[in-house]
């Protein structure tokens, strides 16, 4: 059985448990390949007894893509996955790890899960993003996909951005704000949540449009069906704006239209046996936690 690894190469604090984890997988009869840069990093730090085969994309025989890092690493791994039809799992070595419920201590459980014919997976929707090809000429950028969100942002921190927004060809509004986030249910707990957006159950057929610091108080987050075709036309005083896809930023001329819709591509996430949406809200976002400090009174 073969699995593919994609990892954060700055996680020096995780070197010892990562070495033990890889050894445990191999001892269980698991073959391992790694993304090319991660394979080099593993070799330089002597985390394996022999070098792992480097890969530019997951091998056709791979059963799982395993992301080792935080949520940012998971999003990068999702891009590296491309069109490969294998599930992903995340081992959290970062901070919150909302997308990565597994740990290095789960090596045996992970192996048993992979060998089981009853793997529990959860399919997550993605966004497909397109804009005129000549808008990014000379900067090496191209339209793509996003698992969490697409954000339209101003380049100059002292001026606002205006984002004309259309839903299924019908005019919705002009968002006057610091930016606009269009998020999937998976991304509803990321940038959108920080900007005041709602939490959406990960498998719900919905998208959320969340303005960032809107200049009109009546502009609130809006949930729409994930079948909606969204067109945005940002304009700025500076002549350019930033388009962010899961943190990858492209600078575009003011007035460049961007089309956003649900992608035909999805991500299948391998669930941890003890993980569920309600438990994640309690453990990651501390729902129901009594934050009142004892001993203090007003």
Task: Give the pLDDT of residue 200.
Answer: 96
CA dist., res. 275 & res. 273, Å (int): 6
Task: Give the pLDDT of residue 278.
Answer: 86
Task: Give the pLDDT of residue 81.
Answer: 93
298 residues of the chain, pLDDT tens digit each: 899 999 998 888 888 899 999 998 888 889 999 999 999 999 988 888 888 899 999 998 999 999 999 999 999 999 999 888 899 999 988 777 788 888 888 888 888 888 886 778 999 999 999 988 776 554 444 568 999 999 999 987 778 999 999 999 999 999 999 999 999 999 999 999 999 999 999 999 999 999 999 998 889 999 999 999 999 999 999 999 999 999 999 999 999 999 999 999 999 999 888 878 888 888 878 887 776 655 554 4
CA dist., res. 260 & res. 267, Å (int): 18
Q: How many CA atoms lie within 13 A of 70 on its CB side?
A: 7
Any bridge partners for residue 190, and if so which? none
Domains of the chain with bracketed CATH: 2-120+271-284 (3.40.50.10330), 125-266 (2.60.200.30)
Contact 245, 78 (CB under 8 A): no
Which residues are identified as catalytic?
71
CA dist., res. 266 & res. 185, Å (int): 13
Task: Give the pLDDT of residue 196.
Answer: 95
3-class secondary-structure state, position 157: coil
DSSP state of 254: T
Q: Which of 77, 108, 109, 74 is nearest to 93 (CA)?
A: 74
Contact 121, 87 (CB under 8 A): yes
Task: Give the pLDDT of residue 292.
Answer: 62
Phi first, then psi, for residue 57 (nearest 5°) are: -155, 155
The pTM of this model reads 0.89
Q: Which of 180, 186, 192, 197 is nearest to 242 (CA)?
A: 180
Contact 69, 45 (CB under 8 A): no
3-class secondary-structure state, position 17: helix
Task: Give the pLDDT of residue 139.
Answer: 45
């Amino acid at each position: 059985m073969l699995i593919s690894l994609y990892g954060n190469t700055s996680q020096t604090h995780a070197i010892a448990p990562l070495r033990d984890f890889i050894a445990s997988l191999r001892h269980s009869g698991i073959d391992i390949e790694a993304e090319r840069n991660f394979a080099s990093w593993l070799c330089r730090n002597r985390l394996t007894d022999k070098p792992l085969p480097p890969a530019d994309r997951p091998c056709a025989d791979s059963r799982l893509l395993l992301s080792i890092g935080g949520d940012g690493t998971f999003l990068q791994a999702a891009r590296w996955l491309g069109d490969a039809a294998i599930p992903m799992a995340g081992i959290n070595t970062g901070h919150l790890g909302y997308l990565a419920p597994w740990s290095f201590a789960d090596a045996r459980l992970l192996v048993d899960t992979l060998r089981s014919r009853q793997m529990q997976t959860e399919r997550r929707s993605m966004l497909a993003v397109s804009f005129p090809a000549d808008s990014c000429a000379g900067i090496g950028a191209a339209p793509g996909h996003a698992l969490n969100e697409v954000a339209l942002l101003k380049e100059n921190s002292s001026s606002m951005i205006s984002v004309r927004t259309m839903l299924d060809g019908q005019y919705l509004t002009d968002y006057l704000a610091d930016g606009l986030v269009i998020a999937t249910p998976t991304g509803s707990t990321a940038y959108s949540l920080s900007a005041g957006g709602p939490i959406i159950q990960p498998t719900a057929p919905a998208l959320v449009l969340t303005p960032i610091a809107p200049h009109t108080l009546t502009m609130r987050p809006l949930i729409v069906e994930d079948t909606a075709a969204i067109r945005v036309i940002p304009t700025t005083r500076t002549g350019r704006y930033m388009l962010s896809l899961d943190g990858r930023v492209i600078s575009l001329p003011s007035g460049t239209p961007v089309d956003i819709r649900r992608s035909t591509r999805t991500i299948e996430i391998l669930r941890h046996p003890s993980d569920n949406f309600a438990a994640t809200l309690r453990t990651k976002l501390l729902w129901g936690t009594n934050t009142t400090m004892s001993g203090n009174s007003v």
